[in-house]
Amino acid sequence: MIRVSILGATGYSGAELLKILFKHKDVQIQHLTSESSAGKAVESVHPQLRGLVSKRLEKLNVKRIAQDSDLVFSCYPAGAGIKSNDFFFRAGLKVIDLSADFRFVSADTYLAWYKVEHSAPGLLKKAVYGLPELFRAQIKEASIIANPGCYATAGILSAAPLLKKSLIDPETLIIDAKSGVSGAGKKLEPRLMFSEANENFTAYAVASHRHQPEMENILNKFSRITPQLTFSPHLVPMTRGLLSVLYATLKKSVSLGEIRSVFVEAYLGEPFVRVLPLGELPQTKNVAHSNYCDIGIAEDRRMNRVIVLAAIDNLGKGAAGQAVQNMNLCCGLPETEGLR
């Protein structure tokens, strides 16, 4: 039995983790922390868990958690969980961080994009990027795992097979993506209010979103030339779900069937990536409340461009589901446990 604790359990990712872990046969939930709601019953913050999780939220006590846990999920905002994660790592616990605190090897890159000084830069090179389809072997041996961003998950899974086979020009990548409101987290911002988001469709952080350097950093591992990415994210008036559309110029003439075969080969045997038949495109409703990533392939033959569409649940494969998949791998459990 794996003893787990969730740090920052009152957000959307924390709630999704609780729902998944509650039905995981190899997990025992130990501590659930919240600085703002300490002392309250979980069901008072997450009413959907009434009768399922009968624990109280508590303030962070790193020594107590280290004594009682084998693994922690850190769901804090960027920068807020670095010191505690460093403590748990040094105490011998496994750490799965759902923020961006360990997604970059360079502390300077982290500072440039997140405007926070990294307080444990020595850990950056020890962290493994938690995208199982590409880094499964490393994840199995990892003690600290950087759970990928939601946009990054869809974008990287769309581009990596093509870059590996040198089928696309890495300097022509464009990703246009849309996400539900829960992707921004549980925070008060005017643009996230119902009256602002409802019946509205808007772009934000165009060419400046923090998942852009994350995608470039990881995709660089699969290309001789550093990928150059233009990324435009959008907010759509739905609670959850994410659709990413990748456009890239082909380096040589290949048929659509051959391109699809590259994806079929790349993700053969992957339990959570489904490559759709030609002519069928992914939809967010088909991956809602799941850990699946559906991928569809199209082409613009006139412009010699391939178009790759990927749909995920931003709280599932884009956050909590992928975190549990990583937990299963690094703890020697069946990879799909609790996720089907």
CA atoms within 13 A on the CB side of 134: 25
CA atoms within 13 A on the CB side of 304: 9
- DSSP assignment, residue 250? B
Of residues 75, 88, 73, the one with CA closest to residue 29: 73
Paired with 229 in beta bridges are 173
Distances from the Cα of 212 to the Cα of 7, 61, 112, 228, 232, angstroms: 26, 34, 13, 10, 9
Helical (H) or strand (E) element with 247: strand 242-249
150 catalytic, yes or no? yes
Q: Encode burial over 35-49: b for 16+ CB neighbours within 10 A, e otherwise.
A: eebeeeebbebbeeb
Sheet holding 144-146, edge to edge: 27-33, 2-7, 71-74, 94-97, 144-146, 128-129
C-alpha dihedral sign at 183, 33, 317, 155: positive
**Residue among 75, 150, 293, 330 flagged as catalytic:** 150
Neighbouring CB atoms inside 10 A of 94's CB total: 21
Catalytic machinery residues: 150
